[in-house]
């Protein structure tokens, strides 16, 4: 029998991977998180969290950490149509559908991901940073039994586990190797920028719709405003 390096290997140390690792470690499993980056690291993202996300953060004991890191409160969103019509939606509190609190949060991923990954470690998960997953490892019968990795210190090798969880994002290596994600040119592209000194912002985020894309802005703490735009890849030259 192949010697196991962990009960569960989680590929990706972002919010999905870190929270999954925390809950599994709390259930008594030996969990190893691997990520090609070394944290803290940035990540293109609109950086908004719905009120429901606070339920998970709270369960992990991370909600106070996120708020003390300077997360901005978001009480709702305004949505503007291509024709210029604007509607506003406010988040509901506990009395509302699936409500947990009456506001969401916005925080830079550089800070959020670091907090959650360290929280996973504190909860019992092991973390290996700077480790690139290149493929899944398989038994002779084709069953996935771990991952193939490469790192600077030890080169290429396999790590074995009972379960592999792919939390490695849009271009997931795990998803592609299992045929769940097809390679191809992206149909849309997203651009994200941070700005300082933007006036007129409030606790309400903004989404502006176009016929073939959208943009959004919101404060994400520390005097920084996140501005994101999603457009068809055909418009990338613009």
pLDDT tens track of the chain, all 238 residues?
578 999 999 999 999 999 999 999 999 999 999 999 999 999 999 999 999 999 999 999 999 999 999 999 999 999 999 999 999 999 887 665 566 789 999 999 999 999 999 999 999 999 999 999 999 999 999 999 999 999 877 889 999 999 999 999 988 999 999 999 887 777 889 999 999 999 999 999 999 999 999 999 999 999 999 999 999 988 877 7
Class of the domain covering 6-47+108-177:
alpha beta
DSSP state of 2: P
- Alpha carbon distances (Å) from 106 to 9, 33, 79: 29, 25, 17
In angstroms, the Cα distances linking 94 to 10, 97, 138 are: 32, 8, 46
DSSP states along 93-158: -TTSTT-S-S-EEE--HHHHHHHHHHHHHHTT-EEEES-EEEEEEE-TTS-EEEEEEEETTTEEEE
Rg (CA), the chain: 20
Query: CA-to-CA distance for 218 and 220, rounded, in angstroms?
Result: 6
**Percentages of the chain per state (helix, strand, coil), in multiples of 5:** 20, 40, 40
CA dihedral 82, 83, 86, 92 (to 10 degrees): -50
């Amino acid at each position: 029998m192949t010697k196991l390096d962990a009960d569960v290997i989680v590929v990706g140390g972002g919010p999905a991977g870190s929270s999954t690792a925390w809950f599994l470690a709390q259930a008594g499993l030996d969990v190893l998180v691997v990520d090609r980056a070394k944290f803290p690291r940035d990540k293109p993202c609109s950086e908004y969290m719905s009120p429901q996300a606070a339920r998970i953060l709270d369960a992990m004991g991370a909600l106070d950490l996120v708020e003390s890191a300077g997360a901005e409160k978001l009480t709702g969103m305004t949505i503007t149509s291509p024709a210029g019509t604007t509607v506003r939606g406010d988040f509901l509190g506990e009395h509302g559908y699936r409500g947990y609190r009456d506001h969401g949060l916005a925080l830079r991923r550089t800070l959020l991901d670091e907090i959650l990954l360290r929280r996973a470690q504190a909860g019992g998960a092991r973390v290996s940073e700077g480790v690139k997953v290149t493929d899944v490892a398989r038994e002779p019968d084709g069953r996935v039994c771990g991952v193939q990795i490469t790192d600077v210190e030890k080169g290429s090798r396999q790590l074995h586990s009972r379960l592999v969880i792919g939390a490695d994002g849009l271009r997931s290596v795990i998803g592609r190797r299992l045929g769940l994600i097809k390679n191809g040119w992206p149909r849309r592209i997203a651009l994200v920028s941070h700005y300082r000194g933007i006036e007129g912002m409030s606790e309400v985020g903004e989404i502006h719709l176009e016929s073939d894309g959208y943009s959004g802005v919101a404060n994400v703490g520390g005097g920084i405003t996140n501005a994101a735009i999603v457009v068809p890849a055909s418009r990338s030259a613009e």
